[in-house]
Amino acid sequence: MAGTEVEAGRRLPRSFYDRRPDVVARDLLGALVESRTDDGVVRVRLVEVEAYAGESDAASHAWRGPTPRTRVMYGPPGRSYVYFSYGMHWCLNLVCEGEGRASAVLLRAGEVLEGVDAVRARRGPRPPDRRLASGPANLAVALGVDGAWDGLSVVARGSALRVLEGAPVGDADVVAGPRVGITRAVGTPWRFHVADNPCVSGPRRAGG
């Protein structure tokens, strides 16, 4: 249920990210992403994510091999990969698996638990609360993340961007389905979201 009080757990360790991206993605549901900027602390509970496997995944930016843009994805796990989308939007990923494997998890939507004022300052007065961090570009804005945050460690002490353990989401509350906004590898069900959560962007059912 929305409004559940979630205690902030400890930072997720680097080993958490050193696994297959689909496993990391599913386990990130319910985790808390925290950013610190001049505007203050913003904390968001993840409710929607997508996994991208790298060179074996035709929908991944790294499908055709390393490029300057995708360099961070080939590095160690537990770092941010931030890219510029459609000439307007920034999107935030977390790098998975060991060096040489370009897998990552796209953070698509969350529920703002703390720092609503800071988020409103960035998003404006129009969106209702449930939409403040709904959609990958909106989530990035809510957290104050842009290209300058690319390659940042989320597992280092004192980082401006951290991921904290949250209340786990049980399998009964996880919906898996096709990823959003892609044209290749559309059959891979690597989008995961919390069932019946109003902050989820896009389709809310698995099959379609």
Interface residues with DNA (CB under 7 A) are: 50, 52, 59-62, 64, 67-70, 81, 84-89, 91, 93, 104, 106, 123, 126-127, 131, 135-139, 179-184, 201
Angle at 88 between CA 111 and CA 162, to 5 degrees: 40
Residue 110 or 115 with smaller CB distance to DNA: 110
| Shortest CB 207 distance to DNA, Å | 14
| Shortest CB 185 distance to DNA, Å | 10
Using alpha carbons, select from 90, 97, 76 the residue that is nearest to residue 152. 76
| Shortest CB 28 distance to DNA, Å | 13
| Shortest CB 136 distance to DNA, Å | 5
- Alpha-carbon gap, residue 97 to 11, rounded angstroms: 18
Residue 14 or 122 with smaller CB distance to DNA: 122
Length of the chain measured in residues: 208
For residue 137, what are the CA distances in angstroms to 2, 95, 151, 162? 22, 18, 17, 18
Residue 8 or 146 with smaller CB distance to DNA: 146
CA 134 and chain centroid, separation: 11
Residue 84 or 167 with smaller CB distance to DNA: 84
Using alpha carbons, select from 160, 147, 15 the residue that is nearest to residue 89. 147
| Shortest CB 187 distance to DNA, Å | 15
Q: Which residues contact 194 (CB under 8 A, 6 or more apart)?
A: 29, 30, 47, 48, 169, 173, 174, 175, 200
Sort strands 40-52 and 174-177 into parallel, antiparallel or unpaired: unpaired
Residue 158 or 187 with smaller CB distance to DNA: 187
